[in-house]
Structure 1
């Protein structure tokens, strides 16, 4: 199959290729080139006219939680619930979803089920149980939540368990926040041991942090990615962001700020917030009563205060543009969808917020594609439209580099390619 008459934004950071065509063979991009004379090459298959649209890599959600919410469902419905969410992600152009922790057996079942059904869904990548301290987040005192994490208090156990887990998952996640020396905080030596074990197995490690000091220690331990915007020591100064940016850029450590999480936790119950989301195209008026009826609405989150969340959100919004300019590799992930209509729309809001934080649109696209794939150790072509890459892409009818609305507004989505299978929202010549 050839998709012709498109501008290709390939996800590598290279300049767009205008007047281009892409060739898809056996579910991969076999050529990305300037359009030929219009005569179909032997073996290239049918020709589809992209009508001057813009072809971008399929989007990635690099930090979400599917299996946790699924545990609230009856056991026989859990795999189906995750599968439906993967279908929902694909419907908004998200072709790959990274699940940041959950019961290993449920995640394996969900992946196996997804590969057996005939309906297309987003690809699933997962971490399995997270590493945390004794009764640390997210396990705490709950017997029901025990399958969400390994509770670790020493380096030897950490190394052994990480070696065993690494063979079963796509990457490893550690929760590294809390008071130093407290039982519920993963010890620093254990974090280093987990990184060493994962790297011995060729797997990446992502570290959930809270304060700047935890970010710095996680980088020192060798973590490959930092999850969540950090809480600064002095929110009035951008110096901390510059220092952190230099460290992340120098060590090639990915940074996933999850802006939408801190926005939701900071503004939960705030008059006018849902109206603002509606005006921004994230929710509809019909969504508002359903969201306000949720048990979490207007109530404090058990782990993070509204004040602390506001500080993290505001500081990240003020400094992310500077961090991008300093060479930090930003990845897009939403974490939670407490006040969003769905997890896919939480990622859409994250992309919107990244643009508002001063990340240029080229950087927003890279954050939602290539950097998200690299963060968990996928091959160099993942999240790109390049030769031999998996043929995941989104066709838009307007230039996303010109306006974030052209990416987040579904009316601009012509359709999606999933492993070379076209899922068009509207008819195209030759389709």
Structure 2
């Protein structure tokens, strides 16, 4: 198959490749060439992009679909995750990264998706995260035990990681809590997990709370940091500058999950929901369902509204300087408590990255290439439109480097490619 009359934003070049032709063979991009180039052979069906912009398919690099599905009856869980992944694809998101959930649900979901590949977003997952004994997010709820390995023993954590690494795409640790407290993963256990995962060729992503957590995670060899950290002095950018230098020097990825802190900071506020409506992220018809959710207007465990506001405001003020320092930022939404759906949460995250001052090419990189690189070698799609990459892409009717709305407003979405399968069928004449 080939796509003609298209402007390609490949995720590597600084600007669009105008008037190109993209060839897809066996589910991968095999050539990106000038429109007047002679075909090397029969490229199969030809689709007309009508002068649109082809960008790499979007990645949701931090969510918890398996955890949500665990609340469903067991026979429905895999189907539920599959439907969510279908919803993601319809929003232009071709790959979803699950940052922690029951392993049986995630394995079943992958098997379910394998029966009809190409109709839903791809899935990468960590299985159960590692945390301290009764640590977040398990706490005192035995029903949540399936979503995490609770440990305070480095040798046990090492052995569990070796076993788990053969079944998952990457590893997730939660390094959150008071130093030395039993609910916080010990530092030596964190180091053991990273060492074992790297032996198996798998990356490790670490959830942090404060700057010291982040510094410990980097010292342990973490490949990615999840969540914007809570600053000690919100009035100073010094911590952000120090963190930016550390992350850039160690080539550690950073996923701030801005939309998480925004939602937790404004949970229960009608004005915030109206802001979502005004911005096109919700409709008036969505609001009754959102306000009827049990979590609406209630304090979220572990993260107060006040602390969440501090984290959100600080991240919004400092993310641009982190980008300028060379930090590789990724896009992930984590939760969709006040959003109509999880895909909308990611689109809101991309909007917030732009609002925080990231240049639009950097926003796209956060939602594509950097998110793919973060999870490491298992990501066979590198989040680019380059020869050999899995043919996942989003076709837009306008330049996403001109306006963030052209990327996140679904009115500008013409269709998707998922493993080479196009959702639009406009033939070339």
TM-score, normalised to structure 2's length? 0.98
Instruction: Note closer, same or farther for the CA distance 1:172–1:287 as it changes in structure 2 (3 Å cut).
Output: same
**What is the CA RMSD across the aligned residues, in angstroms?**
1.3
Corresponding residue SS for 2:326 = coil
5+ residue gaps in structure 2? none
Whether the aligned pair in 1 keeps the contact of 2:380 and 2:390 (CA below 8 Å) is no
Tell me which residue corresponds to 2:144: 145
Match of residue 430 from structure 1: 428
Q: After TM superposition, give the deviation of residue 117 of structure 1 in Å.
A: 3.1
Query: Is contact 1:385–1:393 with CA below 8 Å preserved after alignment?
Result: yes
DSSP-derived class of the 1:286 partner = helix
Q: Distance in 2 between matches of 1:104 and 1:34?
A: 45
Q: For 1:168 and 1:275, how far apart are their aligned partners in 2?
A: 43
- How far apart in 2 are the matches of 1:17 and 1:250? 31
Per-residue deviation at 1:430? 2.9
- Give the Å deviation of 1:230: 0.3
Identify the residue that residue 298 of structure 1 maps to in structure 2: 297
Q: What is the match of residue 153 of structure 2? A: 154
Aligned length: 428
**Equivalent pair of 2:154/2:188 in contact (CA under 8 Å):** yes
Q: Work out whether residues 13 and 366 of structure 1, in 8 Å CA contact, stay in contact via their aligned partners in 2.
A: no
Distance 2:118 2:326 in 1: 39
Partner of 2:275: 276
Structure 1 runs (4+) greater than 6 angstroms displaced = none
Q: Compute the displacement of 1:118 (Å).
A: 6.2
Shift of 1:42: 2.2
Equivalence map 1:182-197=2 (5 Å): 182-197=181-196
Q: 2:420 matched to which residue of 1?
A: 420
Residue in structure 2 matched with residue 225 of structure 1 by the alignment: 224
Distance in 2 between residues matched to 1:41 and 1:254, nearest whole Å: 39
Tell me the equivalent position of 1:402: 402
Which residue number in structure 2 is paired with residue 313 of structure 1? 312
Inter-partner Cα distance in structure 1 for 2:331 and 2:407: 14
> Unmatched 5+ residue regions in structure 1?
none
1:12, CA displacement in angstroms?
2.1
2:389 counterpart of 1:389: yes
Q: Deviations over 1:223-282 (max 9, x none)?
A: 000000000111111111111000000000000000000000000011310110011111
The TM-score, its normalising length taken from structure 1, stands at 0.97
Map of 1:362 onto structure 2: 361
Using the alignment, how far apart are the partners of 1:228 and 1:106 within structure 2?
A: 24
**Equivalents in 1 of 2:291, 2:133: separation in Å?**
35
- Cα deviation code 1:12-71 (max 9, x no counterpart): 25332111111011110000112116x655221122221111100000000001011111
> SS where residue 270 of structure 2 aligns?
coil
Deviations 1:385-426 (A, max 9, x none): 0001000000000000010000111110110001111002xx
The answer for the alignment partner of 2:54 in structure 1 is 55
